[in-house]
Structure 1
């Protein structure tokens, strides 16, 4: 995953407008990180968080592996933690406009 993220960013960030969203990668085997989300078109698989351009180019992604007690602060929530974590891949985040499309269904 680190090698892929490095290769995605090898020429830098060439878009000003970036988005943060989640995606499901279809997987039906057994793995502790596999998720089941009833309302998604792909219901079984790995949940990925991505930062990508308006043209769809992925700059970085992270696989969601469940709650991380060390990393997650209850006061700001999962969505904000994900956005902050993905923005760490940017060299200068203030040069970009971030559109976060994260839905929370309690």
Structure 2
């Protein structure tokens, strides 16, 4: 005998689409990682790269510091494919 609850959930498609986007977290504080982005409504803040799902929730995020591609701070197993590609690979 099969479980009726499991039969119901097998018909639901579980395909999930993910998106990586940047976001500016506005602040008036002073820190070396604070950025100025003229196209944003709040011009000064911390730049975040976030991994979103189709449901609108963010699953992971990474704060942009400017040192992501510096070999001194990169993990040995990380490849050097460029700033954006490395961030996407780390988030996924």
TM-score where L is the length of structure 1: 0.61
C-alpha separation between the residues in 2 aligned to 1:52 and 1:60? 8
Query: Which structure would you say has the larger RCO, counting Cα contacts within 8 Å and 6 or more residues apart?
Result: 1
Q: Give the deviation of 1:54 after TM superposition.
A: 1.5
Select which of 67, 77, 80 maps to 2:82.
77
1:7-59 alpha-carbon deviations (Å, 9 max, x no partner)? xxxxxxx7611110000000111111111111122210000000011221010
Q: Shift of residue 80 of structure 1? A: 0.4
Partner of 1:19: 19
Closer/same/farther in 2, CA of residues 86 and 48 from structure 1, 3 Å limit: same
- 2-side partners of 1:47 and 1:65: how far apart? 8
Contact (CA 8 Å) 1:48, 1:61: kept in 2 or not? Answer: yes
Consecutive unaligned residues in structure 1, runs of 5 or more: 1-13, 88-106
CA RMSD of aligned residues (A): 1.8
Secondary structure of the 2:89 match is: helix
Q: Which has the higher Rg, Structure 1 or Structure 2?
A: 2
After the TM superposition, list the runs of 4 or more consecutive aligned residues in structure 1 that deviate by more than 4 angstroms.
none
TM score, norm. by length of structure 2: 0.69
| Structure 2 residues without counterparts, runs of 5 or longer | 1-13
Alignment of 1:1-106 (within 5 A): 16-68=16-68, 69-70=70-71, 71=74, 73=80, 76-87=81-92
